[in-house]
């Protein structure tokens, strides 16, 4: 599942839109709005997406002087936020901090959506990459994948896992892992990381799947245990976490992303200006360190580069979904 970037494919998909995004920023400069700026997050407060968005918004507020607020809109695996962005104002006052678990996964797994990822959402800037984490509750006394496999065989009625977003890699990863270890795992849908973390902490859920950023602080506090991550190599945020390839399942390698989006009707000038401001924040050493602490390998990009990454992941995830035996609904 290693992602390969195909620039020609992205150019073909975007045409004039991508060309505009790649134009020199100086010629596109446009002032940011003066009022309140809302940043949509498609998941509840307390999860990894929300925490990262607030960290970035805080620094962005300091840099721009704008009143920037996080607007949590959980529902339908993040689709509600995407729909709101599509229909929202294009004056730069509405952005979305989105994850590939929503933007890409929903494009691949749904036959019908109320928005088109490529046509209705304007890519602004990559925020960073993140892998999927498989985590177990501290209540079951398991600390490694081999121990978890043995536990599953002894507890056949508990061969399930919570997923932070159905139809995303946090769903597929768990299903495919079950196939690899020879113990089918049944996904249980949660409305984001917050509710899943609560159930894992209380022992109501035995295992779960989400972004590394969702569980890392709780793992470090030993409230739950991350026993595998999907990244192709160990992550800087937590070098102690074993990769799925190290555990003997290299076919499950996967790396997702977070990024900022605007409505497709946002002018190229506003896209360019927001890109400049976001990259200045994301590329600062202190911000990279703070985001690393919550599991995000921070890096920025041009709007075009984010679109290219998104297009390639759509192709990759389509193949992954077929491998998991999941048909678009």
Residues 122 and 157 placed together within one structural domain of the fold: no
The answer on 191 and 267 residing in a single domain is no
Contact between 123 and 171 (Cβ < 8 Å): no
Residue 293: which CATH number?
3.40.190.150
Q: 219 in a domain, yes or no?
A: yes
Q: Tell me which of 252, 275, 301 is where a domain ends.
A: 252
DSSP string, 49-90: HHHHHHHHHHHHHHHH---EEEEE---GGGHHHHHHHHHS-S
SS3 148: helix
Q: Are 134 and 228 in contact (CB under 8 A)?
A: yes
Residue 329 lies in a domain: no
- Whether residue 267 is found in the same domain as residue 121: yes
pLDDT in tens, 44-55: 898 889 999 999
The per-residue pLDDT for 28 is 53
Q: Which residues, listed in sequence order, are joined to residue 226 by a DSSP beta bridge? A: 135
Residues 95 and 82 in one domain: yes
Share of the chain above pLDDT 90, in %: 66
The pLDDT of residue 20: 41
Give residue 225's domain range.
132-252
- Nearest C-alpha neighbor of 232 from the set 221, 241, 219: 241
% residues pLDDT > 70 (the chain): 91
Dist. CA 22–CA 110, nearest whole Å? 30
For residues 125 and 259, membership in a common domain is answered with yes
CATH number for 200: 3.40.190.10
Q: In whole numbers, what is the pLDDT of the chain averaged over residues?
A: 88
Same-domain check for residues 291 and 202: no
> Domain boundary at 197, 223, 252, which?
252
Both 99 and 62 in one domain: the answer is yes
Q: Is 144 found in the same domain as 212? A: yes
Q: Average pLDDT for residues 154-167, to the nearest whole number?
A: 92
pLDDT at 1 over 60: no
1 within some domain: no
Rounded to 5 degrees, what angle do the CA atoms 247, 190, 187 make? 45
Q: Kindly tell me if the per-residue pLDDT of 180 is higher than 60.
A: yes
Question: For residue 230, with 0-12 CB atoms within 10 Å meaning exposed, 13-18 middle and 19 or more buried, which class applies?
Answer: buried
Question: Looking at the domain assignment, is residue 328 inside a domain?
Answer: no
68: in domain:
yes
Domain shared by 100 and 115, yes or no = yes
Report the range out of 28-32, 112-116, 241-245, 312-316 with the highest average pLDDT.
241-245
Mean pLDDT of 107-135: 93
> In the 3-class helix/strand/coil scheme, how is 229-251 assigned residue by residue?
ECCCCCCCCCCCCCECCCCCCHH
Kindly report the number of other CB atoms within 10 A of residue 322's CB atom. 11
What is the separation, in whole angstroms, between the first and last Cα of the chain?
22
Q: What is the DSSP letter of 207?
A: E
Query: Using one digit for the tens of pLDDT, what is the confidence trace for 211-256?
Result: 888 899 999 999 999 999 999 899 888 899 999 999 999 989 988 8
Dihedral pair phi/psi, residue 142, rounded to 5°: -110, 140
How far is residue 54 CA from its own chain's centroid? 15
Q: With 60 as the cut, is the pLDDT of residue 303 above it?
A: yes
pLDDT, greater one: 114 or 325: 114
| pLDDT over 70 (residue 18) | no
Q: Which residues pair with 243 in a beta bridge?
A: 229
Does residue 142 surpass a pLDDT of 80?
A: yes
Asked if 22 and 43 sit in the same domain, the reply is: yes
Mean of pLDDT values over 101-113:
86
At residue 29, does pLDDT exceed 80? no
Classify 104 as helix, strand or coil: helix
Does the pLDDT at position 22 exceed 50? no
pLDDT given for residue 317 in this prediction:
85
Same domain for 279 and 183?
A: no
Q: What is the pLDDT of residue 83?
A: 96
Residue 27: pLDDT over 60: no
**CA geometry: angle 258, 311, 23, nearest 5 deg:** 85
Specify the number of domains making up the chain: 2
Domain boundary among 231, 252, 273: 252
Residue 213: the pLDDT is 83
Q: With bands split at pLDDT 50, 70 and 90, how would you rate the model's confidence at 325?
A: confident
């Amino acid at each position: 599942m290693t992602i390969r970037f195909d620039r020609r494919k992205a150019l073909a998909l975007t045409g004039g839109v991508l060309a505009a995004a790649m134009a020199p920023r100086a010629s596109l400069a446009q002032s940011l709005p003066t009022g309140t700026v809302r940043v949509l997050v498609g998941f509840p407060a307390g999860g990894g997406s929300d925490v990262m968005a607030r960290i970035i918004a805080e620094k962005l507020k300091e840099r721009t002087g704008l009143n920037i607020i996080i607007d949590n809109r959980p529902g339908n695996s993040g689709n509600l936020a995407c729909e709101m962005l599509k229909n929202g104002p294009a004056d730069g006052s509405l952005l979305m901090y989105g994850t590939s678990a929503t933007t890409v996964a929903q494009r691949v797994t749904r036959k019908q959506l109320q928005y088109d990822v490529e046509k209705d959402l304007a890519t602004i800037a990559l925020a960073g990459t993140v892998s999927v984490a498989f985590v177990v509750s501290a209540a079951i006394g398991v600390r490694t994948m081999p121990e978890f496999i043995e536990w599953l065989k002894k507890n056949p009625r508990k061969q399930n896992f919570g997923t932070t977003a159905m139809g995303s890699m946090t769903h597929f990863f768990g299903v495919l892992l079950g196939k690899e270890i020879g113990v089918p795992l049944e996904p249980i849908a949660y409305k984001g990381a917050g509710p899943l973390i609560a159930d894992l902490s209380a022992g109501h859920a035995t295992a779960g799947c989400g972004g590394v950023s969702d569980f890392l602080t709780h793992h470090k506090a030993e409230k739950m245990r991350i026993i595998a991550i999907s990244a192709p190599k160990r992550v800087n945020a937590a070098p102690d976490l074993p990769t799925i390839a190290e555990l003997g399942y290299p076919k499950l390698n996967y790396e997702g992303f977070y990024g900022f989006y605007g409505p497709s009707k946002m002018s190229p000038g506003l896209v360019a200006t927001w890109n400049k401001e976001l990259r200045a924040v994301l590329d600062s050493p202190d911000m990279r360190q703070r985001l690393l602490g919550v599991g995000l390998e921070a890096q920025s990009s041009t709007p075009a580069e984010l679109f290219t990454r998104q297009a390639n992941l759509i192709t990759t995830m389509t193949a992954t979904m077929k491998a998991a035996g999941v048909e678009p609904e």
